[in-house]
Structure 1
Amino acid sequence: MFVKDDWTLFKEMADINFAEAATLTKSTFRKIPEQRRLLVRNVRKRLLIGIGTELLIKAAYLKSGYAINKLQDSASGPKCPYRLADVEPQQLNPYDTFTLAQLTDQLRKVLPLSSPTSVLEGLRVAKVFRNKEGHVVTRTHRFDPSSYQAIERALVEIYSCAFGEDLSVRFGVAHGERGTWRVS
């Protein structure tokens, strides 16, 4: 079961995933045939962004005092989101946590977001990245810079709102674009 103090590990792992995604380049994959390097880089970036997003949202919930574990009996308890202080530890299911979709849908109840629509848009794109890259493989990706920009905007606000940190991020996807990851 996850407790409030676990937020630091979730946040640390999210940071690591995002930092790798931001700075990952085709040259990282020297052992991969040249004609596949761009695809491999893009798949890996998108997967890291999606995983980082889920860990970050769970960190935000925990830091704010909310549970990420589901209840053993969901019919007899509060609905997501609920504070850790409002449930007994034995009520929580140690083997099941809320999905990214469930946590994203309730995020406005947990964080005082100044741009909730923008944040939710970015989080939904990140969830699609994670789901798609985690479950299927396609030969091509349609590059839409606005998808990455939406995620970057969402992360900047979450880092500020949930953790009081300033984030500078660019995932470096376009040709010649350098990635940036800086948290202060």
Structure 2
Amino acid sequence: MSRPRKMLSEWDAPYIQSLVKRVETQSKPTLANWCVSYCETHILPIYEKNRPDDARPRNALIAAHEWLDGKIKLPQAKAAILECHAAARELETNPTGQASARAIGQCASTVHSASHCLGLACYGALAVAYDKLGVSAPWAQLEACAAEECGRMEAALRAIAVENEPNPAKFTWQCKR
């Protein structure tokens, strides 16, 4: 059996490209609100099922909300986000928990850089697939499940998207070939 993948990494996959096209039309605050809210609803429960006594990912999402609401400064948010990333590093033997923690950390990091929102798809969709199918499921099944989740993510963004957004975030994608 091969090692479980840590993330979806096929940049040219139709489900990633469709999401990227939608992401590129929105502002950083819209993207941050979208992916943080999506994580709270769909990804955090996966993490908490794997690590019920670890509040670091929840705290990162709270900090992202507080930054978006102007209640804290970016250094305070970043401290909580870095703790979430530390939680992910501790889960090397738990691919589902690790993918969910990475998704949450990346989504919370969207308050710093809009491009981090893609972590929702790359890590979060895989966390959902691992949670539903198990890490030993064939890759084709996991990817199909993750692709469906990416579709739900895109629908959630579409539901809050600002039509003709006057200030879309600027992107220089580092993951392109």
Is TM (by shorter chain) over 0.5? no
> Whose helix fraction is larger, Structure 1's or Structure 2's?
2
- Structure number, greater radius of gyration: 1
> 1 or 2 for the larger relative contact order (CA 8 Å, sep ≥6)?
2
